[in-house]
C-alpha cells in the first residue's frame, strides 16, 4: 500500500524508484539539512543558486530560491585566488560560516575533492555539520584540483579510493539528513559514457545521496544520454554552465532532480563593478553612477540593521530619546522653480526635502518631531510629525519661528533648518556628544561653488580644526554670523544643533531674553546662538568632506538628488 503525504499525494505513485527512501523529505523540513534533502529528492525540478559570501547568500534568499550552491570557484575568486585549492579548507569554512549565518536557506557546499584523502573529508564534513551547512558535493579528481573547464584529460581519482572518501563523509555526518553528492568528471575528462556510468554506480553503492554528472559540452546531449542510462537510480544533479541554451523543460522531461546555477552572481558582480569603477575613474565624479547602484540604505536593509535597532531597544538600558524641531517656514523653491511651493517640499528623488530630512532624524531614533511651517503652509504636509504654524513668517525671523515651537523644547532637543541634508553620522555624533549645547560645523570654511541667495553662517570658535585625527580637544563657539570675513572663520554652521535637557533650558531662557528686549521678532538663529555662547559653553563639533548640503539654488537641488 502506498504512503500518502499530508496533501494527499501518493508517494509510491510519484516518486521514481531512485528516490525511494527520501519520502520524509517531502514533508515540511524541520532543519536546513532536511530542507536540502527535500530539494534534492523532490520529484519536481529544483534549483540551487550560487553564492560566495554572506551578502550574496542574502540576495539568493531574497530572490526566492529555496537553496544555495556555495561555489568553490566563486568563493576562491572573491578572495582573489584561483580555483585550485589555493584557499585552504579552513578559509573556505570561514566564508561558509558567514553564509550560513546570513541566510535561513540550506546550502550545498562545493567541497572540491574533499581537500585531501578520506581523513580530510571526515574532518571537513563534521565541521560543515557543526555550522549548519546542509550538504557537500565531492568531485572524483585529485588534490589539488583544477577547474573542470581548464585543459583537457584531467586525471581522475581511483574509483575505490574515491568511494572511501564518500564512506568517510557519510560516516562522519552529524545529522541523518546531511546530503553528500558525488560529482562524476568522466565525461569532462573524455573517458566516455561507460566509465561515467560505472563510476556513478560505484559512488551510489558507497553511500552517495545523489550524483552530479558534469559536462563542458555546449549542448546537453551527453547529459540526456547519461540520464536515460541512469534511469533515476539516485537523484541526478546538473550544472548547465556550458550548455546554458538548453530549455529547462528538457531537464524536467529527462527526470533531472536539481539544476545548479553555478557562478552567475559573481560574474554579474564583476561586470557591474568593472563598469562602475571605469565610469568613476573617467568622470572623477559620482553624479552619473549614484542612481545606477544600490543605495546605502539597501545595504543596511540587507544586512539587517532594523533587527539590530529592535535588539538595542530590548537589551540596552533605556534612555530618554531626543526630540527635534525643524524650521521650515522660509520661502519658495530654490531658483523659484516651484511656482510658490515651499522650499522644504521640493522633490528629492521621489520624496520631499522635508521627508528626506525627517527620515534621517528617524534613522537616528528621533520620533518626536515638530515642524514649524509658514510660507505655503497648506502644502507642508508629512505624516507622523507635529506641525506648528508661524502665521507671521513674512515679517519675522528664525528666532520667532523657534519661539512658536518653544513648548517642544523639553529635554534633549535637536534643532535643524528645514532646507539642509546631512549624513546620519553627523547627527549621531552630535547625539553622542556629552556637551549641553553643540553645533555641527563644516571645517572647510563654508565656501560655495556658485551664487547663492543667502550668505553662509560662518563660525568663529576658540580653536580651529587641526585636521589631526588624534586631536579631540573641544572647541567652543564665540560667534555665528554671515558677515564674518572668511579668513577669520573656523568653518560654516550646517544648520544643525543639539541641546541636552540642561542646554534646552538655556535655549528657552535666551528666547525669553530676546523677547523681553524686543529683539525676538527679527532675530535670526546665528544671533540667538552667539548670545547663548556668551553666557554658556556651546561646543563646536567639526566635520570635513561632503557630509551635508544646504539647498538654496537649482544647482544645490540637482546635487541633493544625488545625495544618498
Those residues whose C-beta lies under 8 Å from the C-beta of residue 335, and which sit 6 or more positions away, are 553, 554, 557
DSSP string for residues in 98-147: HHHHH-SS-EEEE-TT-SSSHHHHHHHHHHHHHTT--EEEEESBPSSP--
Give φ, ψ of 409 to 5 degrees.
-85, 80
Nearest-angstrom CA–CA distance, 164 and 186:
18
Q: How many CA atoms lie within 13 A of 63 on its CB side?
A: 16
Could you say which of 83, 110, 140, 556 is catalytic? 83
CA 288 to chain centre: 21
Residue 490: name the closest of 529, 463, 472 by CA. Answer: 463
Nearest-angstrom CA–CA distance, 151 and 154:
7
User: Cα angle at 413 between 409 and 415, to 5 degrees?
Assistant: 95
In eight-state DSSP terms, residue 363 is H
Nearest-angstrom CA–CA distance, 250 and 270:
30
Residue 246: name the closest of 264, 223, 276 by CA. Answer: 223
Is 83 labeled as catalytic in the residue annotation?
A: yes
Nearest-angstrom CA–CA distance, 141 and 144:
8
In eight-state DSSP terms, residue 443 is T
Nearest-angstrom CA–CA distance, 174 and 195:
32
Nearest-angstrom CA–CA distance, 369 and 413:
10
Active site residues: 83
Amino acid at each position: 500500500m502506498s504512503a500518502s503525504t499530508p496533501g494527499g499525494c501518493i508517494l509510491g505513485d510519484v516518486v521514481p524508484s531512485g528516490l525511494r527512501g527520501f519520502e520524509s523529505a517531502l514533508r515540511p523540513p524541520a532543519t536546513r539539512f532536511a530542507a536540502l534533502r527535500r530539494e534534492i529528492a523532490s520529484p519536481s525540478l529544483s534549483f540551487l543558486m550560487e553564492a560566495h559570501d554572506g551578502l550574496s547568500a542574502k540576495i539568493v534568499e531574497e530572490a526566492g530560491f529555496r537553496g544555495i550552491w556555495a561555489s568553490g570557484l566563486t568563493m576562491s575568486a572573491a578572495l582573489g585566488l584561483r580555483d585550485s585549492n589555493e584557499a585552504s579548507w579552513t578559509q573556505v569554512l570561514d566564508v561558509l560560516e558567514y553564509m550560513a549565518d546570513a541566510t535561513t536557506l540550506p546550502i550545498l557546499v562545493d567541497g572540491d575533492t574533499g581537500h585531501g584523502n578520506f581523513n580530510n573529508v571526515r574532518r571537513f564534513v563534521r565541521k560543515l555539520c557543526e555550522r549548519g551547512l546542509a550538504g557537500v558535493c565531492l568531485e572524483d579528481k585529485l588534490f589539488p584540483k583544477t577547474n573542470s573547464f581548464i585543459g583537457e584529460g584531467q586525471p581522475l581519482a581511483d574509483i575505490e579510493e574515491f568511494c572511501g572518501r564518500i564512506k568517510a563523509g557519510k560516516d562522519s555526518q552529524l545529522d541523518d539528513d546531511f546530503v553528500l553528492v558525488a560529482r562524476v568528471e568522466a565525461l569532462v575528462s573524455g573517458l566516455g559514457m561507460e566509465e561515467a556510468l560505472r563510476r556513478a554506480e560505484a559512488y551510489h553503492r558507497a553511500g552517495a545521496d545523489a550524483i552530479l554528472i558534469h559536462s563542458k559540452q555546449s549542448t546537453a546531449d551527453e547529459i540526456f544520454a547519461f540520464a536515460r542510462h541512469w534511469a533515476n537510480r539516485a537523484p541526478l544533479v546538473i550544472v548547465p554552465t556550458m550548455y546554458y541554451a538548453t530549455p529547462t523543460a528538457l531537464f524536467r522531461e529527462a527526470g533531472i532532480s536539481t539544476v545548479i546555477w553555478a557562478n552567475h552572481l559573481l560574474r554579474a558582480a564583476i561586470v557591474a563593478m568593472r563598469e562602475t569603477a571605469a565610469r568613476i575613474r573617467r568622470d572623477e565624479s559620482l553624479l552619473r553612477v549614484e542612481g545606477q547602484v544600490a543605495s546605502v540604505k539597501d545595504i543596511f536593509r540587507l544586512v539587517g540593521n532594523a533587527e539590530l535597532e529592535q535588539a538595542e531597544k530590548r537589551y540596552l538600558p533605556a534612555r530618554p530619546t531626543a526630540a527635534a524641531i525643524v524650521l521650515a517656514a522660509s520661502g519658495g523653491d530654490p531658483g523659484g522653480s516651484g511656482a510658490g511651493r515651499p522650499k522644504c517640499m521640493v522633490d528629492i528623488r521621489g520624496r520631499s526635502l522635508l521627508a528626506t530630512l525627517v527620515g534621517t532624524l528617524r534613522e537616528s531614533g528621533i520620533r518626536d518631531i515638530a515642524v514649524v511651517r509658514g510660507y505655503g503652509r497648506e502644502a507642508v504636509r508629512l505624516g507622523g510629525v507635529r506641525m506648528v504654524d508661524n502665521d507671521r513668517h513674512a515679517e519675522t525671523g528664525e528666532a520667532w519661528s523657534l519661539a512658536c515651537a518653544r513648548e517642544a523644547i523639553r529635554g534633549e532637543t535637536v534643532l535643524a533648518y528645514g532646507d539642509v541634508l546631512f549624513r546620519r553620522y553627523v547627527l549621531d555624533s552630535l547625539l553622542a556628544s556629552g556637551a549641553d549645547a553643540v553645533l555641527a560645523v563644516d571645517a572647510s570654511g563654508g565656501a560655495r561653488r556658485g551664487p547663492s541667495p543667502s550668505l553662509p553662517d560662518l563660525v568663529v570658535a576658540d580653536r580651529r580644526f587641526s585636521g589631526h585625527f588624534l586631536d579631540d580637544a573641544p572647541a567652543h563657539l564665540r560667534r555665528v554670523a554671515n558677515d564674518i570675513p572668511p579668513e577669520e572663520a573656523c568653518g560654516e554652521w550646517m544648520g544643525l544643533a543639539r541641546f541636552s535637557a540642561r542646554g534646552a533650558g538655556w535655549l528657552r531662557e535666551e528666547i525669553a531674553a530676546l523677547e523681553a528686549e524686543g529683539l525676538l521678532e527679527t532675530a535670526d538663529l546665528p544671533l540667538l546662538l552667539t548670545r547663548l555662547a556668551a553666557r554658556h559653553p556651546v561646543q563646536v563639533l567639526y566635520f570635513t568632506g561632503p557630509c551635508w548640503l544646504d539647498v538654496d539654488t537649482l544647482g544645490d537641488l540637482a546635487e541633493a538628488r544625488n545625495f544618498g
